[in-house]
Structure 1
Amino acid sequence: DVEEQWERMEDVVDSLLEKADICMDQAKGRDNQGSSASVVTQSTPQVTHSKVGYKVMHSSNIPRPQLTFPDRVDNSLAPFQRKIQDKPNALVPLSNGTPSAANSGDEEWDSHHQSLGIADHLVSLPHPYAYEIAQLEHPASLFTPHTPQPFLPFDKTPAQWIDTLEALKVVTRKLEGQSEIAVDLEAHDMRSYQGFTCLIQISTRKEDFLLDALVLRPHLHLLNQAFTDPSIVKVFHGATMDIEWLQRDFGVYVVNLFDTYHATKVLSFPSHSLASLLLKYANVNADKKYQLADWRIRPIPQEMLQYAQADTHYLLYIFDLLRNELLAGPSMQEEGEKKEEEEEGAEIDPTQWMRDVLKRSNNTSLRKYEKPIYDAIRGRDKGGWGKLLERWERPLDGAQMAVFKAVHAWRDQVARDEDESVRYVLPNHQLFSLAERCPVDQAGVIACCIPTPPVVRMHASDLALLIQHAESEAL
């Protein structure tokens, strides 16, 4: 199962990052017993080379950007509040009416939703551009083969760093005159419960822009003018998370999406990564070694900026080539398939594959961001105890299971309160160590968690009491 293997890989990577972050805190003398009166500044970014070839670009003492966000971080169980205030390119007005339904088709699960306080009437509002996406008439250019427009030489196309409102307005005006644009995002979620976008990369046929999403956060809603314009094709690769991040952080939505990932699926490519497309069509060996970089770093080192720029610089050229292959595809089917269709009297639609990609892309752009819930009873939420337990190789007895659930719930609540990721608060392997060993004092808790996460060190006594209580309740 691909999803399960991906989650296992995430656990390994998260564990490495957790250890690096905790060890850097300890090396800098941060004991988390209280805030220091001295001014803490970000250290010079450093690159750590892992055994598997990844480069972890990190820096200690990075200020937490979310502390300066004008929109308050809300990690509560209350529904996500849409950030969109006005609706460019609207076919119907922006509505604050009936919330969308949350019924899953599973009566037991829906009943449990209600017990958590997230029944239908409490779920977030509908997608504000659902009607526009449903009524979208794609530009005729998508259904006509084109001579691919070569990309400009990378070394002669410096990325433009955008970190002021005035510069952002210039960019948005330029985007509104394009027929297609390429977009990508870089985000951070290690030191945040829900995560946040740090950088937005946008490329036209002639220019590459890197938008500082931390500084421009309150103004990036201006991108809606171009991003919801149905005449402009927005080219992403693997847009699923990007679509949700744009909504979550800026109230930005996408109408007329072309996701090159879906094109690779329809064309039955053996690989579906952006790196494979860059190699196949642009003869570029993508350096994906900065996927573990900390995009909160400011200023961003030049090599990270080049990595980010490359993600969109070639994407419109790749789009041109994929468009031609999709339009040629139906007429190039195996002879047997063509004969079978002819016998059935069905005509071959040369736009069939393209329409399939666009339908899948529309479904992606219709995704809605929802805040993480916590399912204490069944553990079926993302990152829930039930899913985590399925990946653990050793069984837990009754008392250990009670401790596991109690500490798992404690971890989630502390992460919400402190706006940290659950894996930063307490890594999964340490969570299981606590469940299996059931320490009953502060020293025992710390002994189970080496290196000791700062939050665990602060709350070791509370954790010991929680474990004692959970264990006694189970006996």
Structure 2
Amino acid sequence: LKIEGNAVPVATASWNCINVPSKKTVEKEQSVENLPDKMHFHKKRRIIVKPQMQFRDQIDNSLKPFKPKLRKKHHAITLEKLSNVKLFVDGEQQHADSAEVEYFSESTHPYYYEIITCEPNELMMTVREPQRPVMPLHACELVFVKTKKALQSLVDVLNSQQAFAVDLEHNSYRSYYGLTCLLQFSTRDKDYIVDPFPIWREMHILNEPFTDPNIVKVMHGSSQDIQWLQRDFGIYVVNLFDTYHAMDVLGMPQRSLKSLVRQLVGVNLDKSYQTSDWRIRPIGAKMLAYARSDSHYLLYCWDVLRNRLLNNGNEYNDLMMIVLKRSNDICLQVYKKKLPNELELKKLELKFPFKLNNRQKYVLEKLYYWRDGVARITDESVRYIMKNETLRNLAAKLPRDMQLLENICRPVTGALLPHLHEIQKIICDACCLDLFTMKSPNAENMTVERSSVARRRPHDVATDGKKKELTLLKIFHNPEDETLKQLLHFPELFEECPSEIFYRLLLTSQWYAIWL
């Protein structure tokens, strides 16, 4: 049919509209198509091969306490030098070697004395004209470091500096304890971005410039960064200046990095990539610009903040020393593994708008420890395995039907999919309990009594009407298991426990039972 003249306007509805992809969709598909062949990236599902598979021997998700990964202690303070350094302990001046602090004790870390005896140098305590102008990003040279040779060159450059700025990018969603994905360094004339994945085992050599007391390390809000450096690379920090605490001491109302750069440099930072997946390789141009901007302006900001602290302070209110004391306190942090605990479980229970019955409490507790075990084995975060909201919904609704269970667990991740039947079994076992009885199953044989009356569904275990015992979990098969059970209640015994017991625990599909 051909219509001549003016065409009759046609109303477009959902049944006759042309599927024209949006501009955002087209750009997204083009960016995926242009990725190189070496990129471990699925074009449709955007599946990224976990980078920690390259250094899986360096990842420890066991229940053992964290041990420092320090390989070589650079810039160690000698006993002779320590005896000549004076400290203030309880308001009285005394020699450092007489201070009652146990060196290398469990309550400190390897650089305890180096940090508390680090005195600010002339550069830190002198008012100087800030080095202007700040080079724009496009005019500053960017060096990408991803080989051992390039990393050693970076160490040599940092060792020759009076100060350098540093920042980290981290991913905590696709790893149990988290993963440092990028390190950004800035000197007065260059920016450096370090990809730690190919050189993970060599990253510890950065400990040399980080612990040099004559080099100022400038960071912003470094509390977590300090712990990530310890956890992943065995890197410690001496002589830190944290610009966040400088802003706080100066009474600046907004203390974010974006606010700092806007006020002192006049540049608005784009923070839209802050929560991006920094495991993706190669890194896009916009993400690179975001990453380097976090450290690029810090040295100039340090110049300005240093002058303000020195000019506004006095003999009775030394603002600079207050900032340095806070920065040292951050450096003295010791990374510790976070373990599942009853307090966190109790917080989950308190978020329910009603009081839980015995069955709901049973499911909440079982799934809480089960989720932690699966996350450790698969090296995923507990949030990725199962969100707290999903955990509460399962405990509240007790869905024994698989279809309903899947609906509550959506989206079902690849790590959760193989374990849906385990979740279903936990819920079915809970339905064998009385609703409001305070009595719990025997913790030794892990069994509960199932009544012959009426709590049956088509998918339940068939019974012949007699009183039977439904075995929940059977994992104690040898004397070592009883030892293992005791270890979980007495963490101080971890040091004397053979490592194979812990790995046998993690490889047990129903390991979480011994926590109960």
How would you bin the TM-score normalised by the shorter chain?
Answer: 0.7 to 0.9
Q: How far 1:315 moved relative to its partner? A: 0.3
**Matching of residue 407 in structure 1 with residue 406 in structure 2:** no
Residue number in structure 1 paired with 2:396 = 436
* CA distance in 1 between partners of 2:235 and 2:261 (Å): 27
Q: How far 1:448 moved relative to its partner? A: 1.5
**Matching of residue 361 in structure 1 with residue 307 in structure 2:** no
- Does structure 1 retain, via aligned residues, the 8 Å contact 2:54–2:197? no
- Does structure 2 retain, via aligned residues, the 8 Å contact 1:77–1:373? yes
Task: Write the letter of the residue equivalent to 1:73.
Answer: I
**Matching of residue 73 in structure 1 with residue 59 in structure 2:** yes
Superposed counterparts of 1:101-250, under 5 Å = 126-150=108-132, 151-250=134-233
Residue number in structure 2 paired with 1:42 = 41
* CA distance in 1 between partners of 2:212 and 2:329 (Å): 17
Post-superposition CA distance 1:342-397 (Å, at most 9, x none): xxxxx545xx111000000000011111111121xx22xxxx22233444555433
Task: Write the letter of the residue equivalent to 2:347.
Answer: K
- Segments of structure 2 that go 5 or more residues without pairing to the other structure are 1-37, 80-104, 436-516
Report SS of the residue matched to 2:57. coil
Aligned-residue sequence identity (percent) comes to 42
Bigger mean CA offset, 453-462 vs 227-236: 453-462
Report SS of the residue matched to 2:128. coil
Superposed counterparts of 1:22-37, under 5 Å = none
Report SS of the residue matched to 1:258. strand
Superposed counterparts of 1:264-343, under 5 Å = 264-330=247-313
- Does structure 2 retain, via aligned residues, the 8 Å contact 1:402–1:474? no
Post-superposition CA distance 1:146-193 (Å, at most 9, x none): 101122222111321111111111111111111111000001121110
Moved over 6 A (4+): none
Superposed counterparts of 1:55-66, under 5 Å = 60-66=46-52
Residue number in structure 2 paired with 1:452 = 412
Task: Write the letter of the residue equivalent to 1:276.
Answer: S
Distance of aligned partners of 1:159 and 1:470 in 2 relative to their CA distance in 1, 3 Å threshold: farther
Distance of aligned partners of 1:420 and 1:464 in 2 relative to their CA distance in 1, 3 Å threshold: same
Q: How far 1:415 moved relative to its partner? A: 0.4
* CA distance in 2 between partners of 1:318 and 1:91 (Å): 31
Distance of aligned partners of 1:414 and 1:136 in 2 relative to their CA distance in 1, 3 Å threshold: same
TM superposition score normalised by structure 2: 0.69
Task: Write the letter of the residue equivalent to 1:84.
Answer: L
Q: How far 1:468 moved relative to its partner? A: 2.4
Q: How far 1:216 moved relative to its partner? A: 1.8
Task: Write the letter of the residue equivalent to 1:373.
Answer: L
Report SS of the residue matched to 1:277. helix
- Does structure 2 retain, via aligned residues, the 8 Å contact 1:70–1:218? no
Residue number in structure 2 paired with 1:89 = 75
- Does structure 2 retain, via aligned residues, the 8 Å contact 1:243–1:253? yes
- Segments of structure 1 that go 5 or more residues without pairing to the other structure are 1-38, 47-58, 94-122, 332-346
Bigger mean CA offset, 415-424 vs 144-153: 144-153
Task: Write the letter of the residue equivalent to 1:80.
Answer: F
Residue number in structure 1 paired with 2:24 = none
- Does structure 2 retain, via aligned residues, the 8 Å contact 1:161–1:209? yes
Task: Write the letter of the residue equivalent to 2:229.
Answer: L
Task: Write the letter of the residue equivalent to 2:272.
Answer: K
Q: How far 1:41 moved relative to its partner? A: 3.9
Q: How far 1:242 moved relative to its partner? A: 0.5
Distance of aligned partners of 1:396 and 1:91 in 2 relative to their CA distance in 1, 3 Å threshold: same
* CA distance in 1 between partners of 2:293 and 2:433 (Å): 56
Report SS of the residue matched to 1:289. coil
- Does structure 2 retain, via aligned residues, the 8 Å contact 1:77–1:372? no
Q: How far 1:125 moved relative to its partner? A: 7.5
- Does structure 1 retain, via aligned residues, the 8 Å contact 2:358–2:433? no
TM superposition score normalised by structure 1: 0.75
Distance of aligned partners of 1:392 and 1:303 in 2 relative to their CA distance in 1, 3 Å threshold: farther
* CA distance in 1 between partners of 2:325 and 2:40 (Å): 48
- Does structure 2 retain, via aligned residues, the 8 Å contact 1:441–1:461? no
Aligned residue-pair number: 372
Task: Write the letter of the residue equivalent to 1:86.
Answer: K
* CA distance in 2 between partners of 1:429 and 1:137 (Å): 49
- Does structure 2 retain, via aligned residues, the 8 Å contact 1:92–1:131? no
- Does structure 1 retain, via aligned residues, the 8 Å contact 2:385–2:415? yes
- Does structure 2 retain, via aligned residues, the 8 Å contact 1:160–1:209? yes
Structure label with greater radius of gyration: 2
Distance of aligned partners of 1:124 and 1:438 in 2 relative to their CA distance in 1, 3 Å threshold: farther
* CA distance in 2 between partners of 1:210 and 1:79 (Å): 31
Distance of aligned partners of 1:300 and 1:141 in 2 relative to their CA distance in 1, 3 Å threshold: same
- Does structure 2 retain, via aligned residues, the 8 Å contact 1:163–1:216? yes
Report SS of the residue matched to 1:459. helix
Residue number in structure 2 paired with 1:374 = 340
* CA distance in 2 between partners of 1:474 and 1:193 (Å): 35
* CA distance in 2 between partners of 1:358 and 1:192 (Å): 33
Post-superposition CA distance 1:113-154 (Å, at most 9, x none): xxxxxxxxxx96841101110111111221211101122222
